[in-house]
Amino acid sequence: MGGDTPRIGVLALQGDVREHRLVLERLGAEVVDVRRPSELATVDGLVLPGGESSAIDKLARRFGMQEPIRTAIAGGLPVYGTCAGLILLADRVIGAIDGQQTFGGLDVTVTRNAFGAQAESFEADLDVEGWDRPVRAAFIRAPVVTQVGAGVRALATLPGGEVVAVEAGNLLGTAFHPEVSGDARFHERFLERVRAAPRRR
């Protein structure tokens, strides 16, 4: 691979790993599944996919991934979390199951399953700060950001005012699934952040 080709890991413990891989590969990234600390150490950026946040949390601890991911986030590794991935980046979670933990690093409070069960899934057109056309966003058992800390930028809100996309430093999070709707602009935004960050390899 060329020197400018970012190597992106997708945390492949549970969730929609394949969909993220396809989008990132179309955008020219080298993509690898990450299940072990040794694999995490080889990537320039990490995607935390949608899925079941409590299951990903349990598997991350079982595979010895929790602390390495926390350390990587604190060290500046660019990380993009979608849906469950946003929950895993949040410092605070409302509606977490007993014992559920997160990787943290993003000074927000999120509410799990804010819109109800799978049957309440929906799509919406979202205006994103600085973009000239809306994003078609798929919300599937989605969280919302209910509190935004200092230094966190809200990028998109629903018509009711619910914050559903945020960024801060090396971290980007969306409550929805752009890898499902076919709009790659959030992945492009993530890759721009990866290319601008100091390489770890």
- Which position among 19, 20, 25, 179 bears the catalytic label? 179
Number of folded domains that form the chain: 1
- Which position among 20, 167, 177, 187 bears the catalytic label? 177
Global confidence as pTM: 0.94
Is 81 inside any structural domain?
yes
Is 2 inside any structural domain?
no
State yes or no: is 83 an active-site residue: yes
Residue at token pair 């950001």 = 145
Is 1 inside any structural domain?
no
Is 37 inside any structural domain?
yes
State which residues form the domain around 32.
Answer: 7-196
pLDDT grade for 2, boundaries at 50, 70 and 90: very low
State yes or no: is 188 an active-site residue: no
Is 201 inside any structural domain?
no
- Which position among 20, 83, 167, 187 bears the catalytic label? 83
Q: If you ran DSSP here, which 8-state letter would residue 168 be given? A: E
Residue at token pair 């400018």 = 4
Is 128 inside any structural domain?
yes
In tens, the pLDDT along 133-169 reads: 999 998 988 999 999 999 999 999 998 899 999 999 9
User: What CATH number does the domain containing 107 carry?
Assistant: 3.40.50.880
Q: For residues 109 and 106, what is the distance between their CA atoms, to the nearest angstrom?
A: 9
State yes or no: is 20 an active-site residue: no
Is 85 inside any structural domain?
yes
